[in-house]
Amino acid sequence: MAFRTLNISELEPIPVVEGTLLWHPLRHALGVTGFGVNAYTAPAAGHDVVEEHTEASGPDAGHQELYVVMTGRARFTIDGEALEAPAGTCVFLPDPQSRRHAVAVEDGTTVLAVGGEPGKPFEVNAWEWNFRARPHLDAGEWEQAAAIIADGLEARPGDGSLLYNLACCEARLGRLDAANAHLQAALASEPRVRQWAAGDADLDELRERPDFPL
Here the CATH number for the domain that contains residue 31 is 2.60.120.10
How many angstroms separate the CA atoms of 5 and 16, rounded?
Answer: 25
Containing 124, the helix (H) or strand (E) segment is none
Alpha-carbon distance values, 102 to 68, 78, 176 (Å): 12, 9, 42
Same-domain pairing of 54 and 82 = yes
Alpha-carbon distance values, 150 to 58, 132, 155 (Å): 22, 12, 9
Across 60-84, average pLDDT: 95
From 116, 139, 167, give the residue that closes a domain: 116
Indicate if the pLDDT at residue 214 is higher than 90.
Answer: no
Same-domain pairing of 112 and 132 = no
Grade residue 68 by pLDDT with cuts at 50, 70 and 90: very high
pLDDT value, residue 30: 96
pLDDT, tens digit, for every residue of 117-153?
999 999 999 999 999 999 999 999 999 999 999 999 9
DSSP 202: G
How many helices and strands in the chain, by DSSP H and E?
6, 10
From 116, 138, 163, give the residue that closes a domain: 116
Q: Are 57 and 14 in contact (CB under 8 A)?
A: no
Same-domain pairing of 201 and 147 = yes
From 116, 146, 175, give the residue that closes a domain: 116
**Positive or negative CA dihedral for 127, 129, 134, 135?**
positive
Position 82 in a domain? yes
What is the number of structural domains in the chain?
A: 2
- Tell me the residue range of the domain where 22 lies: 8-116
pLDDT value, residue 143: 98
Reported pTM: 0.87
Encoded amino acid at 7, one letter: N
